[in-house]
Amino acid sequence: MQGKVVLVLGASSGIGRAIAKQAASLDAKVILASRSAPTLKKLQQELLKTGKESWVYTCDVCSEESVSELVENVIDRFKHIDIAILSSGIQFIDRVHELDINEVDAMFQTNVVGIIRCARHILPHMLERNQGQLVFISSVMGEAAFPQMVSYGATKAAITCFARGLQRELRHTNVHVNLLSPGHMNTNISAHLGDRIPHWYGKSGSLDVEETARKMIQAIQANKKEVIIGRQSFMLTQLTKFMPGMANRIIQKITT
C-alpha cells in the first residue's frame, strides 16, 4: 500500500477513521473525507504526530455537487485514485411500526444512494486507467436480518447487492471491487440513539474497531472479493444461507 493514493469516505469516525489510520501506517497517501472538517483536521494532526501525512477534504455524499467536486479536486492533485474506501454511513434503530420515515430516508440517502454516487464519480477515472479498487463497507446486518434493525439492514443489503453486481459488471477490467462485511463493532455509530438502542444490541459480541480495520486492510491488500469479518458473524451468515431455520432460532435467542 506504500505510496498508493487511498481515498477514505467517512474518515471522521468509526471504521472509516480506523481504516484511514491503518492505511497511513502503511505509508499510503491517505485522503480523509467526510462532512466534518474539524474532526478530519483532528485526525490529520494525530497522524502527523506519528510522522504520517494526510490530506483533508470535506464532502457530503448526499450532495451531487460535493462528491463531484471532491473527486475532481483529488484527481487534479494526485492524478488518480488507487483505492477508494466507501465507508460513510449512519444508523437509526426502531421497530417498523414506530419508524420515522425521515430517518429511513436519511439512511438510504447516505448508506445507499450516497455510496453509489461516490462510486459513480470515481469509477470513470479508474476505468480510464484500467486500474483501481472500489471498497464497499457493508455489514453482517445485510445478510442476517435482525428485528429493530430492519431498515438499517436493508440499506446494507442494498449496498451488498450493488457491490456484487458491480464485481460482475467489471469482470473484464482491471478495476476491482471488494466487499467487506463486519459484525457489530464498538464504534459510535449508534451513540446518538440513547435509550432507543435495544437491550440486546452488541451483547452477542462486539468486534474491536482497530483490529477490524487491520483485517480490512489485509483483505484490500490481498484483493479479496468478499470477506465477512468476525467468526460469529461468518457462522451466522453461513447458517442464514444454508440453514435458515437454525439462523432464525439463533437470532430470536439473541434478541429476546
Walk along the chain (256 residues) in steps of 10 and give the mean pLDDT of each run: 96 94 97 96 96 96 98 98 96 89 96 98 98 96 86 96 98 98 74 60 73 97 96 88 89 83
**Position 61 in a domain:** yes
User: CA angle at residue 132 from 129 to 137, to 5 degrees?
Assistant: 150
Residue 249 CB neighbours (<10 A) = 12
**CA-to-CA distance for 174 and 160, rounded, in angstroms?**
20
**Position 256 in a domain:** no
User: Distance from first CA to last CA of the chain, Å, rounded?
Assistant: 44
Beta bridge partners of residue 34, listed in sequence order: 58
**CA-to-CA distance for 152 and 148, rounded, in angstroms?**
9
**Position 114 in a domain:** yes
Q: Which residues of 153-163 are buried (b: 16+ CB within 10 A; e: fewer)?
A: bbbbbbbbebb
In this structure, are residues 26 and 217 in contact, taking their beta carbons and an 8 Å threshold? yes
**Position 253 in a domain:** no
By CB atoms closer than 10 A (0-12, 13-18, 19+), residue 204 is middle
Q: How many domains is the chain partitioned into structurally? A: 1
**CA-to-CA distance for 113 and 162, rounded, in angstroms?**
11
- Tell me the residue range of the domain where 17 lies: 5-230
Kindly provide the residue ranges of all beta strands, DSSP E only, lying in 145-225, ordered along the sequence: 175-182
Quote the pLDDT of residue 196: 63
**Position 238 in a domain:** no
**CA-to-CA distance for 197 and 148, rounded, in angstroms?**
9
Which cell numbers hold the place of 180? 467487506
Output the pTM of the full model.
0.91
User: CA angle at residue 7 from 67 to 193, to 5 degrees?
Assistant: 70
**Position 164 in a domain:** yes
Q: How far is CA 159 from the centre of its chain?
A: 10
Which cell numbers hold the place of 92? 437509526
**CA-to-CA distance for 100 and 93, rounded, in angstroms?**
10
What CATH number should be reported for the domain holding residue 169?
Answer: 3.40.50.720
**Position 177 in a domain:** yes
In this structure, are residues 111 and 214 in contact, taking their beta carbons and an 8 Å threshold? no
User: CA angle at residue 189 from 184 to 190, to 5 degrees?
Assistant: 85
**Position 86 in a domain:** yes
Torsion-angle region of 204 (φ positive above 0: left; ψ -120 to 50: alpha; else: beta): alpha
Quote the pLDDT of residue 252: 84
Strand, coil or helix: what is 125? helix
Backbone dihedral angles phi then psi of residue 187, each to the nearest 5 degrees: -105, 180
By CB atoms closer than 10 A (0-12, 13-18, 19+), residue 55 is middle
**CA-to-CA distance for 128 and 112, rounded, in angstroms?**
25
